[in-house]
Amino acid sequence: MRLKFYGRNAHTVYWPGTYAVGQPRQYFGSRLVAGTGPKDPSRKVVTKEPDECDSDAHPAAAEHFKKQCQRGALWAADKQTADFCGVDFVRVELDADGDWSPAAAARPATPKTKEAS
């Protein structure tokens, strides 16, 4: 099964088992963007497209990402992935800060306050 996830800026999720000495870690749902110096440091940005993991080919990685989704470090990008992870499917969209957030239709309504008369 193809599992699809979006990253969250507040969390860093690594591909399990991909780190080798001297090699950069592989992020899941985000990428490291190299800076040009002290005034432009390296930073982590979420991917614009969901990252995928084949649960049949990589069962240990799929279990790792499932746990990360359950703890809130990843968004399930589709209903099938949400069902696999045992979480509610929430449609997300890129917000002005460049992070994935619940889509406007999925956000709870803000209660209206009484205005002073």
Give the pLDDT confidence score for residue 3 in this predicted structure.
Answer: 97
The answer, yes or no, to whether residue 20 has pLDDT greater than 70, is no
Q: In sequence order, what DSSP letters do the residues of 65-84 get, joined into one string?
A: HHHHHHTTSEEESSHHHHHH
Locus of tokens 């993991």:
53
Tokens of residue 90, six digits? 């929430």
Give the pLDDT confidence score for residue 54 in this predicted structure.
Answer: 94
The answer, yes or no, to whether residue 115 has pLDDT greater than 70, is no
Cα distance between residue 76 and residue 6, in whole Å: 6
Q: Where are the domains of the chain?
A: 2-34+41-106
Q: Is the model more confident about 115 or about 92? A: 92
Tokens of residue 22, six digits? 């001297």
pLDDT in tens, 72-84: 999 999 999 999 9
The alpha carbon torsion through 85, 96, 38, 44 (nearest 10 deg) reads: 10
Give the pLDDT confidence score for residue 12 in this predicted structure.
Answer: 84
Handedness of CA 100, 104, 108, 109 (dihedral sign): positive
Which range is least confidently modeled, 8-12, 15-19, 26-30, 36-40?
15-19
